[in-house]
A = this chain, B = another copy of it.
Amino acid sequence: MRDPVFSGSTMAYHPFQAPRPLDFSISAFLAAAQPSFFPALALPPSALGKPPVESGLSGALGPPHHHIHATHLHGFKSMELEDAAKDNPKVTLEAKELWDQFHKIGTEMVITKSGRRMFPPFKVRVEGLDKKARYILLMDIVSADDCRYKFHNSSWMVAGKADPEMPKRMYIHPDSPATGEQWMAKPVTFHKLKLTNNISDKHGFTILNSMHKYQPRFHIVRANDLLKLPYSTFRTYVFPETVFTAVTAYQNDKITQLKIDNNPFAKGFRDTGNGRREKRKQLTIPTLRRFEDQCKAERDVGDSDTSSCDPVAGGETPPRVVRSPRGVSRACRGGKINADSDQEPEQLDVGSATTDSHAPSPTRFAQDRKEQLEKDSSLLVGVRSPKKDKAESQNRKESEAESPGGSDKEDAEVRHTDLSHFSTTQLQALALPGVHGQPFYSNLAAGQPLLLHQGQFTMTPGALSTMGMEHLLSSVSTAASLENSALVGQTAGGSCSFPLHLSQHILTSQGIQMPAFGAMFPYPYTYMAAAAAAASVLPGSAATASVSLSPFLSTTRSRLRFSPYQLPGSTTGLNSGWDPCRLSSRDPSPTPALEQQSQAARLVANHRTKATLRDSASELQSIQRLVSGLEGQRDSFPARTSPGGE
């Protein structure tokens, strides 16, 4: 309870701790982004959008199909439709049941200096892509809220405001670019992505703050060259059940047990009568074996490759889609707009993302989405309400009582509330920091500040960073959408699969932590691209104001925390890593945004406090996050950007 604002809050259903906050958080910022998205979306020919049905002011909205948005957007702004159409991607989360099991308890992911994989592994199945077109698939992990947590009395509770955001990195799937056919052939796994708390990480791992909540995101970009990524449309998918709290050591024994029971690498800790396992009673759940078995089965299929297991069976979750075409629009820029930011977490699970009612134009679209959601059963796959979760968890026969705050927490509430104080722009910033960076053009790190090949694009750093998150400002849907990317121009004609045959060379190993290999993509890069697009398309661009503050110099109330182990310069060797002190002052200040939830959801959440986080501290922190995301990114770039080794 470090946080002065939330101190005292305890557990489930507390105004400040609504159950299943994670979902909210995500949907919240997604919703916020949405508004700004529509205006710029292009409409693919094959778009089969439906007329908007539900209004989006308060937020409620079902995940819409992209094409729908595209259509509308088309009218708004003329976008390049060249290669639009022909695809209508649909993404489902693999091992959904397993994720759900963790989610109910409150997923925790260990982060270590050397980098730790995620478990369950983030794996998605993609459908509806243009077989011949080439795509780049990526994922990143963004803050779910701006709070710091603590696990107290068997439950998670807010413990203050979030620490300064670490430079986020966009992780490009190593097979990128590859044809839609290839991507759809089998689930796309991201087990090579590693999490770390080492701010000086040189491997390109995703740096997270311990005791903070995060949301993994998946992106699909139609582009045949990584160089085009910056100018391309990002279709973002978020699976609420994948939110997790980063920890350096497991806090909830239930999580530990679930990990042990399902992660083959932890088999050694299973209670097999070998006199191990003391603390945790064997909470082994029936679904247990399934995961591993599936993994093995999967490995044997086709030309196995990969590694981390991942259950194939079970429900797959249709995510919320956020799309950011280049030249995308930005939602209302201005300050903490918001308002009815409170929503019912429960509803969130219904799989719908809400749009900020305060956003520029999205309202009607929100309705559209909602309708879509209700119509498209696939969108609801894997979606479950908190109540259901509760019921399930209670049914579980665990020797240990269900930890009070175990499942269905509500820090989300906090986050949610917090978000409501940010403008759409701010939310973007909030999300974007985690939007790009991890493995990407390492050469960028190697020198060029922002590259974008001179002349092609000119903007002030501030403007760029602010607008860069355009692809976050997209429509939210769980189904597929038509191609609407505004690629800078196809290179070669066809759709050549790029695979690089990980089969033989790349696959197996997880994170060999060779920065040389990683495709590092510092935020700045994408930022610029998106920003450029946005700038050229939208009139009232969002905050272009540059704020001169770094997490270390201009903190109002937010505490800058660095564990003794992470203090800049005190960490591992080469100080070429991220150095907070070097954050420049040329960054835009994000603006507040609204969250959107289904009306039902908001009804439930109405009792929450809305003002708590509405202080300058919140804004400052957001800004700082953004700044670090932009500036820190560059500095943290691995010194070695060479490939070869492999």
Contact = CB atoms under 8 A, between A and B. Distances in A.
Given A204-B501, A517-B305, A506 B174 contact: yes
A304 B513 CA distance: 6
A176 B204 CA distance: 18
Interface string A473-506: 0000000000000001101111111111111111
Given A500-B439, A504-B192, A505-B193, A515 B303 contact: yes
A498 B438 CA distance: 12
Contacts of A228: 491-492
Say whether chain A's binding surface is mostly helix, strand, loop, or mixed.
loop
A118 to B, nearest CB: 12
As for how many copies of this chain the complex holds, the number is 2
Interface string A311-334: 000000000000000000000000
Contacts of A517: 174-175, 305, 499-507
Interface string A199-215: 00011110000000000
A226 B493 CA distance: 12
A193 B225 CA distance: 24
Contacts of A497: 441-444, 446, 519-520, 641, 643
A506 B509 contact: yes
Interface in A392-439: 438-439
B194 A306 contact: no
B186 A504 contact: no
A539 interface: no
Interface centre among A174, A190, A307, A514 (most CB of B within 10 A): A514
A288 interface: no
**Most chain-B CB neighbours within 10 Å: which of A226, A441, A642?**
A642
Contacts of A586: none
A227 interface: yes
B518 A512 contact: no
B645 A500 contact: no
Interface stretch (A63-71, A357-365, A366-374, A448-456): A448-456
A36 interface: no
A225 B503 contact: no
A502 to B, nearest CB: 2
B439 A501 contact: yes
A15 interface: no
Given A175-B643, A643-B499, A205 B504 contact: yes
A643 B513 contact: no
A441 B254 CA distance: 45
A508 interface: yes
A174 B305 CA distance: 14
Contact of A175 (B189, B192, B516): B516
A172 interface: yes
Contacts of A506: 174, 192, 500, 502, 505-507, 509, 512, 517, 646
Interface in A162-205: 171-176, 178-179, 181-194, 202-205
Contact of A182 (B178, B443, B452, B454): B443
A514 B641 contact: no
A185 B642 contact: yes
Given A499-B520, A518-B500, A519-B501, A646 B188 contact: yes
A440 interface: yes
A378 to B, nearest CB: 19
A510 interface: yes
A176 to B, nearest CB: 7
Contact of A191 (B173, B191, B646): B646
A505 to B, nearest CB: 2
Q: Which of A174, A226, A507 has the most CB of B within 10 A?
A: A507
Contacts of A182: 442-443, 446, 516, 641-644
A190 B505 CA distance: 8
A496 B226 contact: yes
A629 interface: no
A302 interface: yes
Given A132-B443, A305-B513, A514-B303, A172 B491 contact: no
Residue from A453, A495, A496 with most neighbouring chain B CB atoms (10 Å): A496
A216 interface: no
Nearest to A502: B517
5 closest A-B pairs by CB:
A501-B518, A508-B509, A305-B514, A192-B505, A185-B642
Given A182-B442, A185-B642, A505-B506, 16 more contacts: A126-B644, A173-B500, A179-B446, A184-B642, A188-B643, A192-B646, A224-B227, A225-B491, A305-B515, A305-B517, A441-B496, A497-B641, A499-B519, A501-B517, A502-B646, A504-B518
13 contacts: A137-B644, A174-B501, A174-B506, A185-B643, A192-B646, A443-B496, A451-B494, A452-B494, A456-B493, A501-B514, A502-B645, A506-B517, A508-B509
